[in-house]
Copies of this chain bind each other. A is one copy, B any other.
């Protein structure tokens, strides 16, 4: 027995707006932030979870976590893990708080932090990294983590079970492969929109020297600027895979026209070409711009959005977010959906803690759900990792399999002290 005895939140913010790391067409001055929650227990371990935001409003997520916390505090971890889907359903269906979403916005971001904290606690109690905990669940235990509500017209429990059972006998071989080779990654850090040409070139050269072989650039400014950014990237990286990210800046027709002008750059995907809520718009764009792919998901509020993106054949790449979705349980649902529809999952990362999170999720996807690395690549951005006790590590352009117990969100004690908002030392200068 491990009883959760309390929940404490902390508003953590890094002053990334000073350097413009993370800047794009709609988020021009992000301060990468985490709304952290710490679950104390009557045992040796603490569950640490977070949701990611980009500054202002991070305190709203902390406040929302505190409103949801009574649904977790006082509960026995064994009870939560015996029926994880029921636990998740309770968190997302409080009779009053549900109105604030449902399953979207601040309340769902807060759900993610709490759910991730419970999974972190579970993994620490089991003394395993999160990916290993999940990869050692039986197919029956795995589907017991998923709330299939609103999904059954696309995927039900039995189909999910079939899918997991087919891959279960070969899990060990894929784990061994990842332990040896790592999981393929791509780099976003060279192309932030606030960076000038010289800086982009320098960063590309350094990345190539470090073994990176897949890149993404930001677009979504004036057409001439977008073309120039793609030219610079192509000049630096040659024929290596290149993606572009518009961060929701265009209308549907505008996206189609813009992509015609960028066709010569052989982009693997255009990411977030329009409103993240616009399933039909993404489908129209996809039909118009093939063979360039369409990718989205970092702002897709919940599994129902992903279900529709897949049903409508609106995306070529499924970009789950570890904190936008309601934590591990809902991510597992989307991994299953994507596998059912044959669409590769390429998680959104960067931010604060997102790389640390998605490295686990990509392993779970490959080992348990998709069984394929074809067309898969997981985002990486190279700042803020120094704050983590067990930072994500990338070697030769591939994520190294994490080994520390838990879900990797813990920050260094000094970092909590520095980044706490507004009282931290980083905010006093």
Contact = CB atoms under 8 A, between A and B. Distances in A.
Interface of A: 26-31, 53-57, 59-61, 63-64, 67, 93-109, 149-153, 248, 251-254, 274-281, 284, 299, 301-302, 304-305, 307-308, 311-312
Nearest to A249: B149
A57 B100 contact: yes
Contact of A60 (B28, B106, B278, B312): B106
Given A26-B98, A281-B308, 11 more contacts: A26-B95, A27-B95, A29-B95, A29-B96, A54-B99, A60-B107, A150-B251, A150-B252, A152-B251, A152-B254, A280-B311
Nearest to A302: B277
A57 B105 CA distance: 13
Given A29-B96, A251-B149, A253-B153, A107 B57 contact: yes
A150 B275 contact: yes
A276 B305 CA distance: 10
Most chain B CB neighbours (cut-off 10 Å) among A95, A104, A305, A307: A95
Contact of A56 (B59, B97, B105, B281): B97
Contacts of A278: 150, 304, 307-308
Number of copies: 2
A30 B96 contact: yes
Given A56-B67, A67-B57, A26 B93 contact: yes
A303 to B, nearest CB: 9
Nearest to A13: B96
Nearest to A154: B252
A109 B100 contact: yes
Nearest to A27: B95
13 contacts: A26-B95, A27-B99, A30-B99, A54-B96, A56-B94, A57-B100, A100-B105, A104-B277, A105-B107, A105-B108, A277-B302, A277-B304, A279-B279
A244 to B, nearest CB: 19
Given A27-B95, A105-B107, A150 B56 contact: no
A252 B152 contact: yes
A99 B301 CA distance: 11
Nearest to A254: B152
Contacts of A151: 251
Most chain B CB neighbours (cut-off 10 Å) among A101, A107, A152, A277: A277
A299 B105 CA distance: 13
A53 B98 CA distance: 10
Contacts of A31: 96
B274 A150 contact: yes
A98 B27 contact: yes
Contacts of A109: 100
